[in-house]
Amino acid sequence: MIIENKRVVVTGGASGIGKALCEAFHASGAKSIVVVDINYEDAKKTADSIGGLAIQANVAVEEEIQNVIEEANKFAGGIDIFCSNAGIIGVPGFMEASVEDWSNMWSVNVMSHIHAAKHVLPQMLERGEGYLVNTASAAGLLTQIGAAGYAVTKNAAVSFAEWIKITYGEKGIGVSCLCPQAVRTAMTAGGPGVAGVDGMLEPDVVAQDVLDAIKEEKFLILPHKEVAEYVKRKGNDRDRWILGMQRLQKQYEDFFASYEKDN
């Protein structure tokens, strides 16, 4: 899809990858950009810097996503590209997470994509053209050491994006799924953790990869190129891959045991 003159919505647009996406779309000639975030103050700063519209919303709530789409339609007359980018790391571990913690992670990391697609697809299908970008994670293709909720919800996010592409791809709907490892955002402010094994990328680099994928209508966006090889190894021999991940898990446990002992 050509980005120039397109009407864009970006959730999680106040900072990190979302903010970088808004700036990249603006630089590429998008007609309008709606910046959505639960943090309205910073969303407005992003929007004001690019002549866009800021909307406060909790993406986990279906009615608030519906309101975003309605307000974006009023602002620009429609939506051509919807970037469902907001997400949370949630509570790490497994035993530590409550039912409420799981529900919160599921609502933000999975249901936000479902709400967006459900309510923006009708206008796109009517026009015969539209594009969805869903931010997941390399954890959705592989797994996340030390964080069951993140691993499971990001895996579901990838599966949902695949389903949308399979179901509506022949009806003019483009779909891309963003699956980075560590990116320099508020989420990684305390350090990249095991996700930083292949380095930490800047948000603007990731945003450019997203725009390139939209132009090429490429489904999987892998800013960390190593992830493609990991996915291949996993598919070729899952048992061997799991053994390798168990070794990584042991390294993770040993590191934190040593850290806690020294501190």
Assess whether 150 carries a catalytic annotation: yes
**Of 131, 150, 168, 230, catalytic:** 150
Q: What is the 3-state secondary structure (H, E, C) of the chain?
A: CCCCCCEEEEECCCCHHHHHHHHHHHHCCCCEEEEEECCHHHHHHHHHHHCCEEEECCCCCHHHHHHHHHHHHHHHCCCCEEEECCCCCCCCECCCCCHHHHHHHHHHHHHHHHHHHHHHHHHHHHHCCEEEEEECCHHHCCCCCCEHHHHHHHHHHHHHHHHHHHHHHHHCEEEEEECCCCECCHHHCCCCHHHHHHCCECHHHHHHHHHHHHHHCCCEECCCCHHHHHHHHHHHCHHHHHHHHHHHHHHHHHHHHHHHHHC
Q: Which residues are catalytic?
A: 150
